[in-house]
Amino acid sequence: DAGVTQSPTHLIKTRGQQVTLRCSPISGHKSVSWYQQVLGQGPQFIFQYYEKEERGRGNFPDRFSARQFPNYSSELNVNALLLGDSALYLCASSPGFFNTEAFFGQGTRLTVV
Amino acid sequence: GQQLNQSPQSMFIQEGEDVSMNCTSSSIFNTWLWYKQEPGEGPVLLIALYKAGELTSNGRLTAQFGITRKDSFLNISASIPSDVGIYFCAGQLNSGGSNYKLTFGKGTLLTVNP
């Protein structure tokens, strides 16, 4: 079975631009969460979506938004990119709402220049 | 954002040695998870713990959920070179509302010298 897949794997953007990151969860998993991992730190929670609804949001500005589609795939959007948005963005899927045993994708490395 | 206190920050050991790392929190969790991350990859789930006092093994890995629900430890026995990576603990409260997120530690970088 395929694991969590994310695209693209690497991305370079300029300050002020907008970016969209994509995630396909493990088949049968209905919950998708997004995390930001800055170099040298553990992942930080951004969003959780379950059954196409936002169920939680971390301490991130409104420039960050996300959505989940009927097939449970998800997109993370970041507007007005700042240099500090440079990070590894991880998507995690889990079978149910409570997000236990979350399985992570390989991440999208975003560099803002 | 909140991060758990994970120690040590890094370890450099000889192949065959045992390793121990731990994670503490100021607040309680209902679930503790341990992940391993290698360069260029996402975290891979190693062990999940669901009950205070629970001791769970996965091959050479053993983890325990602290009685106070505020801590957990991970042991690796007889380390091998492929154990190299960053080990993260993560806690989850599971009490509804907005508490289903995973809160991570800063990680323990493990280097194994062959």
pLDDT in tens, chain A (113 residues): 679 999 999 999 999 999 999 999 999 999 999 999 999 999 999 999 988 899 889 999 999 999 999 999 999 999 999 999 999 999 999 887 766 778 999 999 999 99
Which residues does B contribute to its contact with A (CB < 8 Å)? 1, 3-4, 6, 31, 33, 35, 40-45, 48, 50, 88, 90, 92, 94, 98, 100-107
Q: How does DSSP assign B37-104, residue by residue?
A: E-TTS--EEEEEE-STT-EEEETTEEEEE-TTSSEEEEEE-S--GGG-EEEEEEEE--SSTTTTS-EE
**Bridging pattern class, strands A108-112 and A10-13:** parallel
**pLDDT tens readout for residues B60-107:** 999 999 999 999 999 999 999 999 999 999 998 866 555 578 999 999
Whether the per-residue pLDDT at B30 is higher than 70: the answer is yes
Find out whether B35 and B47 touch, Cβ atoms under 8 Å: no
In this structure, what is the dihedral angle of CA atoms B45, B84, B37, B98, given to the nearest 10 degrees? Answer: 60
**pLDDT tens readout for residues B45-58:** 999 999 999 999 99
State the pLDDT at residue B60.
97
State the pLDDT at residue B79.
97
**pLDDT tens readout for residues B1-12:** 667 999 999 999
State the pLDDT at residue B101.
85
When scoring A32, A48, A53, A98 by the number of chain B Cβ atoms within 10 A, the one with the most, hence best to mutate, is A98
How many contacts, defined by CB atoms under 8 Å, are there between A and B? 74
State the pLDDT at residue B96.
59
State the pLDDT at residue A79.
98
Q: Is B93 left (phi over 0), alpha (psi -120 to 50) or beta?
A: alpha
